[in-house]
Amino acid sequence: MSKLNGKVAIVSGSGRGIGREIALKLASEGAAVVVNDLDAEPANAVVKEIQAAGGRAVACTGSVTDADFGQRFVHTALQEFGGLDIIINNAGYTWDNVIQKMSDEQWSTIMDVHVTAPFRILRAAADHFRETAKADAAAGQEIFRKVVNISSVSGVMGNAGQANYSAAKAAINGLTRALAKEWGRYKVNVNSVAFGLIKTRLTEAVAGDSATIDIAGREIKVGVNAQLMKNVEAMIPVGRGGTPTEAAGAVYLMCIPESNYISGQVLVVGGGRP
């Protein structure tokens, strides 16, 4: 049997990149998945891909930074699939600058998407986790549920030009450790996975500075200078950046029964580079 049969997962930012691979991996192991993206088209495409493979999935589109999103995300899982067992806080992006050039908007926007949004999602799930834990205990069962917050090595070691992103990812690690202590009695494992270089559209090598993505009407520069990318990969012990599929595998490890006694941890996934 698949390890996640009967489980229900919500994965923010799962229409593309690492989030998409996480959603596909969890679904392939039996979980029903609520897929999220800013835009309906990529979210629905992932839903169709999961369904075509025999899995169960629905979309919950919209920005994770909307004040009501957390409640809506959790409600979708409860309404459509009758439960919630796994929360993956993955949605996010970078908006880099050195601190003397960083605007208040850059700071607050990155903090909102990487810290406030996960906080609201987790707060929205609190009553469900508490109630199901009580019901499990009354039935003489010990059933673990999982939270995986996506962090970064920038939040562990810091990174020049990313004061906002580094601070946000350090904060999500702090939230992870706090909730591991609050929710341990409810049999909820709360962990972070901190990625190093994972090759996605946000980090792919570019020849110039023209690569951008549109986030809520803002044109955000993405990509890494091609020579800088080579230099970074040369410092990774395994000799290359990771793939979204490999990133999803690390998240999956924190969702399966074998990780039931692991909580409050930050797992660095960087090919051997801290």
Contact 36, 57 (CB under 8 A): no
Handedness of CA 23, 87, 5, 31 (dihedral sign): negative
- Strand positions, DSSP E, 90-144: none
The tokens describing 221, both together, are 């520069």
Tell me the Cα Rg of the chain: 18
Q: Any idea which residues carry the catalytic annotation?
A: 165
CA-CA distance, 135 to 33, in Å (whole number)?
Answer: 23
The tokens describing 205, both together, are 């090598």
What count of residues does the chain have?
274
> 156 by DSSP, 3-state: which?
helix
CA-CA distance, 135 to 226, in Å (whole number)?
Answer: 54
CA-CA distance, 233 to 101, in Å (whole number)?
Answer: 28
